[in-house]
Structure 1
Amino acid sequence: MNRNVIKSVAGKVNNILKDSKGLTPLAHLDYSKQLIVKQKKISTILKSLTIKLKDINSSITPDESGLPCLLENIEPSPVIEGYRNTDDFSIWPGPDGNPKTVGFILGKIGKSFQLPICSPPDKFKIVKNSHQILAGKFQEYLRNQSPLDVCLDFSKGGHWKRFCVRSNDFDELMGIAILHPQNLSSNQLEDEHNRLINFFSPIAKSINLNSLYFQACPGVRCTHSRAPFKLLYGSEHIDEVINGVKIRITPEPFIQINKSAAEILYKRIIEEIEPQSNMTILDMCCGSGVLALQVAPMVKEVIGIDSCEQSIIDATINASVNSITNCKFIHGTIEDHLMNISENLYSDDLVMIMNPGSGGLSSGVINVIRRMSNVSKIIYVSCKPEGQSLRNFAHLCLPFRPMDDIQGDPFIPVKAIPVDLFPQTNRCELIVTFSRY
C-alpha cells in the first residue's frame, strides 16, 4: 500500500480519531447521562418485544408504558475508565501513515474511497494504562525488530494481524501476538519466536508482563485446537478472583471485560435464580465456569456446556482449585448435548442460564428448551438484546402451536435488569428472567 496515500487519507480523519466516537460514542456525556441513554434504549427494545408478542397473539399483557415485564433501573459500573481487562488490538496503518500501528480500527472516508485508520489506544478512556504501554512496546517491536509485514488482505500476503492483551485486578499482563503464517517455514516462525523473546524478556518485569503467547492463525480467528497458542515467556495463565471464586485466565476463553461490573452482573443473576438445595442449574454458555462455581454451593448440581474446549479445561481446573465437586462441564455445542441432558434430567427441577453472546441461539435450540417441561425458569443474558436475542425472547413466548412445531408451554418475561459493563459505549448487558407460563 502506498505510504503517501495512507498519509494523505489519514490527515482527513484526524478529527474523527480525536473524539474516538467509533469505539466510545458516549464518552462526551457525564456518566449519569450515559445511564439515562442506556435505560431508554433498553426500554425501547423491550417495547419492541411487546409489539412482536402482540403480533403472535401472545397472552402477555404490557404495562401502561408498553413494557412486557418489570424493567429495573440500570446497575451502574463501579469503574467507568480504564476498566477493560481484555483488549483485542488490530495492526493496521495509523494516522501517521505507518502500516505497523497497534490500536483500534476506526473511520470510513468518502463515498467512493474508504480506508479505515488504526488509532493508538491512548485515545480511549476505557483502556488501562498498562494495556496502552504493552501495546506501545509491541508496536515498537513491530517497527524496529520484526521483518514481517502487516496482513491487510489474506490473499495479498503479509503476516501481522492482531495483538491481544489480558490482565487481572493485580494488573498482571498477558500478551498474545497473532499473525497469518502464509508460507513461512517452521524455521522462520521459530526465528520470530526468538526475536519476540529477546525483545520482551529483558523488559517483562518492568511492564508487569507475566505471559507472552504467539499464535500462527491462518484465518480471521482460530481456536487453540486449530492454531495452538504457543507460550514464549512466563506463566501459562494469570489468576483472578471474582466474587470470592479463583479463576485462571488463559488466551482463548471468554471473560467479561469489566470485572467490578461483572461481579454485580453475577450477583443479580444468582438472585434471579433463587437457588435451592434441590435445584439443578444448566449453564448453557458456561465459559471457564465463573458463574457456575459461584452458584454451585447453593444448589444440588450445575451442568455447564461450552463450545470452546479450553474453556471447559479451565472450568474443570477452576472447580478443583475452589474445591467444588458438584459441577460437571461438557465440551460441545448446545445442539449436541441438550437433548441428552433433557432425557437424563427429566425428573429434576431445572433452571437454565443462557449467555450466548451477540449471535443468540438457533430456533432449534429454543424448541428443545420449550419441550423440556421441567425447566421452570430461564435467565437469559444478552450484550446485544436488539438482535438475535430479541427473536429468541419472542420465540420463548410463542403460544403452543404443534402445527408449526412450537411445542411445550410458553415462557413469559417477568423481569429485566440492565447492568452497565461498558461505560462510555452505547452497550450494556441485559438480564431477562422468564418463567414458565
Structure 2
Amino acid sequence: MSHPPPPSRPAPERAPGTGALSHELRVWWDALAAVAAGIVAMIVVAVLGLWAAGADALPSGAFPAVVAATVVTAVGGTVEVSGGAGFVGRTSGGLVVVPLSVTLAGAVAVAVLFLLPLRHRAVAGGTELLGRVARTAVLWLLAVLIVALAARHTFRISLGEDFIDELGEALGATPTVGFRAAVGPTLGYALLWLLVLLAIATAVSRKTPLPSRLLRFQDSVRPAAFAMLVVLFAYVAIGLIVGVAVALSRGHADRTVAVLLLGLPNLAWMGLGIGLGGAWEGQVPAADIGLPVPKPLAAVLRENDGGPATLDLASLSAHDGRAWLLVLLAVLALLAAGFVTAVRSPADRRHWQHALQLAVAAALTLLVIGLLTHVEARFGLSLLGIGDLGDDFGGEVTLQAQLPRLVGLGALGGFLAGFLGSLAASRVRRRGEVDAPPA
C-alpha cells in the first residue's frame, strides 16, 4: 500500500534586498581581489629584484622598507631622502624613478582581475562600470597608504674614509640617511596610475563591454590601442630573452637578473623610442659609479665627465654598431602594429583612417614611455661646509626624454606604418566582411 507523498513545504521567502546585498558584496570582493593581486605581484617582483641586487644586506633591517619604497615608486609615488650629521653636517637627496618591471607586474594583475567579471557580457552600464572603478580605487588607495607608511627607514652611512668617519664620530656628526614616502603625492599619483590603467585596459580588451554612449568609439580606439600594447609586450619579451642570454653567457648574473626584475621595460621601451629616432638627455657623476644598464648606454652617459650627454642612435652606435638593429626592430614592430590595427578594424575603414589611428596611438605610447623612463636621483653630504651636497661626497643621476622629438617621430612612424599595414591587410579578410554571393 503506497503512502501519499508528504505535503511540500513552501520555499522560504528571501528577505527583501538579499539579492542586492549579495551583488554588492560580490562587487566589493572583485575589487579586493584585483587590488590584492596587484600589490602582491609588485611586492614579489620587488623582493626578488632587490634580493638579486644585494639589498637584503642593507644594515638595520632596512630591506622591508626598501621593498615598500620600490612599490611606492612603481605606482608613481615619491620617495624623499634626508638625513643629518649633527650640528656640522647635513645630508640631502631625492629619488624619482619608476621600476617598470614592478609596475608592469602589478598593472597586469590588477587589469586582468578587474576585467574578469565583465568578460563575455553583452553590455555594461556606465553607472555599474564607474561603481566598480570607484570601489577598486577606494581599496587601492587604502593598500597604497599602508605600503607608503611602511616605506621609511633611517640608517648610518659611511663616507668611505676611516679618518672622516672617525672625525664624524668624535664631533657627534655621524652621518645618517633616511628615506620616506611622501604620502600625499604618493596617493595622488597612485590614484592617477590606477585610473589610467583601468581606462587603457577597458579600451584594449575586446571582450569587455562598454557603456552604450562609448560604443561608437570602440572601433576607432581598440584596434590601434591593442596593437601598440602588443608592441610593448613584444619588446619586453625580446628584452627578457636577451637578458637571460646575457646572464647565462657572461659574468655578474645576479646584477643582470636584478635589472630584469626591476627595470627591464625601462630599457626595452627606450630601445623602441631610440629605434624610431627619439633621444634622452642624461647625466651621471664624474666619479666611477656602477650603472645597472648596458655598457654602451653607460659609456654614452659618462662621455662628458659628469656633464649632460645625449642618448640617441648616433651616440649609441659610436660605442656599439649593433645599435642600428634598434631601427630595424622598431620598423618591423610598427609595421606589424599597422597590420594588426587594420585586421582588427571594420572592413569599411580606409587606409588613411588606419594611419591616423595608429599615429595617435603611437604618439601617446611614446609620450607615456618618455614620462615613465624619467630618472632623477641626487644625494650629497656637506661636512663643515665641504662637499656642498653633491661634490666629493655626493652626485646626481638624471635621465629624461626629449618629449617633442620622441612624440613627433612616434606619430610620423605610426602614420606611415598604419598606412602600409592597411595596404598589406587589404588582401586579408577583415572584420565585417562577407563572401560575395555566387553568380
- Give the TM-score normalised by the residue count of structure 1: 0.25
Higher strand proportion, which one? 1
- Give the TM-score normalised by the residue count of structure 2: 0.25
**Higher RCO, 1 or 2 (CA under 8 Å, sep at least 6)?**
2
Higher helix proportion, which one? 2
